[in-house]
Each structure stands twice: as structure tokens, then as C-alpha cells.
A and B are shown apart, each in its own frame.
Chain A
Amino acid sequence: MKIKKTLYSYLLVTPYLLHFILFVAFPVIFSIVLTFHKWNIISPMQFIGLSNYKKLLLDTYFLKACYNTIIFLLIHIPLQLAIALGLALVLRENLKLRGFFRSAFFLPVVVSGVVVTILWQQLYGFESGIFNRLLTGLGLSRIGWLIDPKWAMVSIAIMATWKNVGLYIILFLVGLQSVPTSLYEAADLEGANPWQKFRFITLPAINPTMFMVVILSTISGFSLFIEPYVMTGGGPLNSTLSAVLYIYKQGFFYYHMGYAATLGLTFALVILAVVALQRKWIESS
């Protein structure tokens, strides 16, 4: 009876166990093994020791890709935080059509990334894109949104912010709604103006939400891929070549699977370190 019960228990956890082994444990272990090999999928794997790691240290393209990703994060995170919090503050108020706007801002989150990217590609068009039409309408000169190396990453960051901001608006709304109204009323009685109420009540109260938004947008920012892949292919002049796009190219374009695995593993450790540092910094401040 006891053995039957134990077997039954194992049977119940088997689907998850299979999924874990096939899609988590095996890929992780296999990619670690791969980092010490040269492999192009077709030929047999060839052990090369630490060569992939030595190559990584001298790879200027990878450095460039990391630099681009950091530039993206530096534009994307503050922009996302400011817009999401600003809109959440507006959408918290008892406005007409509040429900409609809440849904509208969330809509891009559930739309496919490829669809959004193609749409924005049209908006960013140099000749016929709506942004440049607006600029020329105002008497200003056109911007090479996706063809000028100075603007390309900024353009992608703006688009990525638009795509994801809805999710962070929801997170901020939840945080804002958990602040008791009586705190604002007490502050009203003490003569606090709107800015002081925001500074001394709202901001400290939504600190945990802020922390979560920063961490989530950092992780999602580090995995920047679809946008540059579809819109620019990493160009112009590698200005939008993100780390993940570079890893993808190494693996599935040049078939340097061992090197791609090395890049992937190193990059995962970098993300882990950055998030840990962020956490420490936010907690201490």
C-alpha cells in the first residue's frame, strides 16, 4: 500500500520533472559543457579548454554589444520609471474613461513584440514615418531614427518603453492604491502641497514597487533582442547590437555554438551581479 502510494506520488511529479530535466537542467548543464568546446551543430564537438573564454576577453564586438545594452538600459529604465509612475498617478485619479485608458496603456504589453516592432518601424520611417512628418510639419529637419547611429538605440529604447510601460503602470497602480488615503488627509491638515505629499508620502510608500520595477525592467532590458533584430539587425554601424542579439548571431548565424554558450553564460552572470548590486543599493538607500 505504502509502495503504491509512493509510486503514485512520483507519477504525479513526473511531468514537471521531465519538463525540468529537458528544458532547464539539461540546457544549463549542456551549455556549460559547450563553453569548453567548439561545435557547429553538424560536426562533432571538439574540446578546446578555455579558448572560448580567452576569445571573449579580447572580443571588442561583445564589449560593444554590452556597451550598447547598458546605453539602452540607461535610457530605458529611467524613462520607463518616470512614464509609468506619472501615468499611474494620473490613472489613480477618478477620471472619466479611466478604465478605458488603463486598458489602452496595457494593450501593447499583450501584443506580439514582432508586430509592435514592425508598426514602429513604419512610424520611424525616414521619408514617410509619422514622426518625421510631424517634425517637418513643424519646420524642423528629419531625424534618422533608425539609420543614424546616434539615434538608433534611443529610438529602440523609446519603442521598448512604449511596449512595456503598461505592465509597470499596473504595478505602480497597485502600489499607489495600497497607500491609505488617511495619510494624504493627515498631510493635507498639516499643510503639505502636492509635491510634498508626493515626496514625503507617495515615494516612500511605493519604494518596494519601485524596486520591483527597476529589477524587472533591468532584466527585461538586458534581454533586448526582438527590437534590434527586426528593426535594425544590430546596425547601423553596430549601434543597436545588443548583447543577446550578438549571442544569437554567434550561435545561429555563424554557428559558433561553443562561443555563443560562453557569451550566454558570462552575460547571465553579469545580469546576476548587476541585479544583486541594484538590490543592495536600493535597500541601503
Chain B
Amino acid sequence: MAEVRLKNISKSFAPNNVVVNELNLHVADKEFVVLVGPSGCGKSTTLRMIAGLEDISSGQLYIDGKLVNDLPPKDRDIAMVFQNYALYPHMTVFENMAFGLKLKKVDKKVIKEVVTQAAEAVDMLEFLDRKPKALSGGQRQRVALGRAIVRNPKVFLFDEPLSNLDAKLRVQMRIEIARLQTRLGTTTIYVTHDQVEAMTMADRIAVLKDGILQQYDTPLNTYNHPKNQFVAGFIGSPSMNFMEVIKDESNSVTDPSGLFKFKHSDLQLPIPQGQKVILGIRPEDLYLEQKSIASVKIAVRVVAVEPMGNESFLHLQIGPHLLTARIKPDIPIAKDNMIDLYMPIHKIHWFEYGSGSSINTSN
């Protein structure tokens, strides 16, 4: 097993087209790290650089302490699972899984043994004679997983492996991959744009935007203590509500057009009076009744109600802002009504206007 270290890794396809910018990342031995971010953030490019499928423009990449920048993919001791499975269509499941070993001229008996073990691990033993076209999407992904296991690599790389599966199968495969990784103890780097996958599978999440690392932390820390407005908005579903406000007194903020004002003695912001600031509150932190003394009341208009069965989402409007609140499903609230909501002060996230950096209010 191995650790992976990215030191100031950059990638540009043209002088003015930097897709990964000075990325520093340390993936510990046996760790499961998820690279997450919107399309075009550089996560797949980063993974492909680790795999050796893309050249590194600058910086150093170490796998198991060894500089691998100039090593071809086959010599990096990694295995990759692709989004489209990349199974050889004319080969059977067995041949697909055995291909790498066959190229290495491994003894046929050993190949059979290793492939059988891997097929057992991914529950595909009874499909070894089938060709990929005779398999479902989930089964194909298992074969791709089995092919990776056969190589017994130091590092597993996953490039959005569940994107082509339906929602139910995705949940099932998510659990299986996580379980398999724990059992094999192989260092894993997993790319996804799905923040639910990131939250549920990762030991640590690396959130990327425009090729720049925004935050590298445990899933819960990323959720509870986002370093900036982008991370706060990207992690969590429905995403965090944001409102642009102005600090007008020592313990109050107002809407720039004066439509509403939040005032509380605990509302202490370490920024000068008159400065704009971004207020962030998660949908589950908006309450219908006052739970905490330190909370501010806001009057909102209900724009829409989305009952999900186990919960309901309220889409609300306050001034120019649209907010979402997550509430229990059995509370009857009608559209177009005005209601009061409570925001606990300690649940509010504050971000600098412009830069979006988180403002620490603990002092």
C-alpha cells in the first residue's frame, strides 16, 4: 500500500488555459480521498495526471515516496476504473479481468486463480463467460472493479465510476466500493461531481474549483466549517442559503435595500460598520419555532412547498432573496402565506463579500 503526494501540481493545455493550479494534496496510506467539484474544476485532469494518462505541466507527484512524473502509467502500480467502464467489448468478463496479467505473461493457472478471487470479491463469478454487452450497467462496473483488483495495485483511481448508473444502483455500488476499499485497504482517490458520494464515501474530501483546491478536510468538517462560500454552497443538498447584507450597527445587519433587518446582541461581526457581508444558513437550520434564545426571526413568504415524504422543502422569499428550508413532512404550510422562521445565530456562516472567504466569529 502507498501514500500519494501532489506537490505544486499544475496542468495547462495552453499558456492561458490553466486547468489545475499549484495543487498540493497528501493522500495517506489506505486513505479514501474524494476529489469533488463542478464540471471543469480539474478533478478528472488531476486523477489522469496521477494515472499518467496526462502529462504534468509542473510540480512533483510521488507515489509511495517515489517521484513518478516521468513514469509511464503501467509502471506506477495503479489501477483505474473509468466512468464508461472501458471494458474490451470483444472479450469475456474473464478475459477482460485477465488481460493485464496475460500481457505480463503470468502463468495461466495463476491468472485463473487471481481472476476467480477478484470475480468472487465483486460477485461476478457466475458471469465470467459473458461479454460486456450481455451485462447490466452495474455488472459492467463490477467487472471494471474486478479488473482493478486483479492488478493488486498500490493505488485505486476512480473517475466518476457511478455516473452512468441509475440512482438506486448508485447507492448500492457506493456502499460496495466503500466496503471493498476498507477490506482491501488500498489507498484510493475517487473523482465525482456528486457531493453525496463525496460525503458518504470519503475519509477526506478535496473540493476543487477552477483548478484550485478550496478545502481539504473530513466530510463533516467540510460541511460544518466550510472555508469559503463556494464550498458552503457546493457541499450540502439543498445547498446553503446566501443573503447579501450590510453591517449597520455593532449587533445588526440589514438588507442593502432596507427591506429587512436582523438584530441580536450575539450578532458580533469582526468587520467595519457599513461593509457588505454574505450571510449563509443551511436549509435545516431554519426553524419554524424558536429553539434557541440566540436566534433572529425572519418573516418570509412561502413561494412553493415540495413534499418529499420523509421531509418537505419550503421555497421562501425575503426581499430579493430566495431561501430553502427543510422541515418535517407533517407540518401543514400553504403556498403564498407569510410565516416566521428562526435562524440560530451560531448556525449562521459569514463570508467576506467579494472574496467569499469564511469569517471567523468565534472570538
A200 vs B89: C-alpha distance in the bound complex, in angstroms? 11
Overall SS of chain A's interface: helix
Interface status of A44 (Cβ within 8 A of chain B) = no
A-B contacts counted at CB < 8 A amount to 55
A187 vs B87: C-alpha distance in the bound complex, in angstroms? 10
Interface 9-mer from A159-167, A189-197, A246-254:
A189-197
Interface residues on A, range: 10 to 19
B100: chain A residues at CB < 8 Å are: 189-191
Q: Which of B131-190 contact A (CB under 8 A)?
A: 147, 151
Interface status of B259 (Cβ within 8 A of chain A) = no
Indicate whether A182 sits within 8 Å of B89 (C-beta atoms), given known contacts A190-B74, A192-B103, A200-B99.
no
Overall SS of chain B's interface: loop
Residue of B nearest to A185 (CB): B53
Interface status of B300 (Cβ within 8 A of chain A) = no
Indicate whether A185 sits within 8 Å of B82 (C-beta atoms), given known contacts A190-B151, A191-B74, A205-B90.
yes
Interface residues on B, range: 20 to 34
A207: chain B residues at CB < 8 Å are: 90
A240 vs B222: C-alpha distance in the bound complex, in angstroms? 79
A201 vs B82: C-alpha distance in the bound complex, in angstroms? 16
Indicate whether A191 sits within 8 Å of B103 (C-beta atoms), given known contacts A185-B53, A186-B80.
yes
B99 touches A189 (CB 8 A): no
B84 touches A189 (CB 8 A): no
A204 touches B90 (CB 8 A): yes
Interface status of A271 (Cβ within 8 A of chain B) = no
Residue of A nearest to B95 (CB): A200
B88 touches A200 (CB 8 A): yes
B84: chain A residues at CB < 8 Å are: 180, 182
Interface status of B339 (Cβ within 8 A of chain A) = no
Interface status of A188 (Cβ within 8 A of chain B) = yes
B74: chain A residues at CB < 8 Å are: 188-191
B88 touches A188 (CB 8 A): no
B99 touches A190 (CB 8 A): yes
A189 touches B88 (CB 8 A): no
A191 touches B104 (CB 8 A): yes
Task: Report the minimal beta-carbon distance from B181 to chain A, rounded to whole angstroms.
Answer: 18
A183: chain B residues at CB < 8 Å are: 86, 88
Indicate whether A190 sits within 8 Å of B103 (C-beta atoms), given known contacts A185-B82, A200-B88, A201-B88.
yes
B51 touches A189 (CB 8 A): yes
Residue of B nearest to A196 (CB): B103
A196 vs B103: C-alpha distance in the bound complex, in angstroms? 8
A207 vs B74: C-alpha distance in the bound complex, in angstroms? 27
- B77-110 interface code vs A (CB 8 A; 1 in, 0 out): 0111011101011100000000110011000000
A189 touches B79 (CB 8 A): yes
Residue of B nearest to A203 (CB): B90
Interface centre among B73, B78, B79 (most CB of A within 10 A): B73
A180 vs B86: C-alpha distance in the bound complex, in angstroms? 8
B89: chain A residues at CB < 8 Å are: 204-205
A191 vs B83: C-alpha distance in the bound complex, in angstroms? 20
Q: Which of B43-80 contact A (CB under 8 A)?
A: 51-53, 72-74, 78-80
Task: Report the minimal beta-carbon distance from B9 to chain A, rounded to whole angstroms.
Answer: 19
Q: Which of A194-250 contact B (CB under 8 A)?
A: 196, 200-201, 204-205, 207
B72: chain A residues at CB < 8 Å are: 188
A188: chain B residues at CB < 8 Å are: 52-53, 72-74
Task: Report the minimal beta-carbon distance from B264 to chain A, rounded to whole angstroms.
Answer: 55
A182: chain B residues at CB < 8 Å are: 82-84, 86
B103 touches A186 (CB 8 A): no
A187: chain B residues at CB < 8 Å are: 99
A200 vs B96: C-alpha distance in the bound complex, in angstroms? 11
The 6 closest A-B pairs by CB, nearest first: A190-B100, A191-B74, A182-B86, A204-B90, A186-B86, A182-B82
Query: 18 A-B contacts, Cβ less than 8 Å apart?
Result: A180-B86, A182-B82, A182-B83, A183-B86, A185-B73, A187-B99, A189-B51, A189-B52, A189-B53, A189-B80, A189-B100, A190-B99, A190-B100, A192-B103, A200-B88, A201-B88, A205-B90, A207-B90
Residues of B within 8 A of A (CB): 51-53, 72-74, 78-80, 82-84, 86, 88-90, 99-100, 103-104, 147, 151
Given contacts A180-B84, A180-B86, A189-B74, 8 further A-B contacts (CB under 8 A): A182-B82, A185-B53, A185-B73, A185-B80, A188-B52, A190-B99, A191-B74, A204-B90
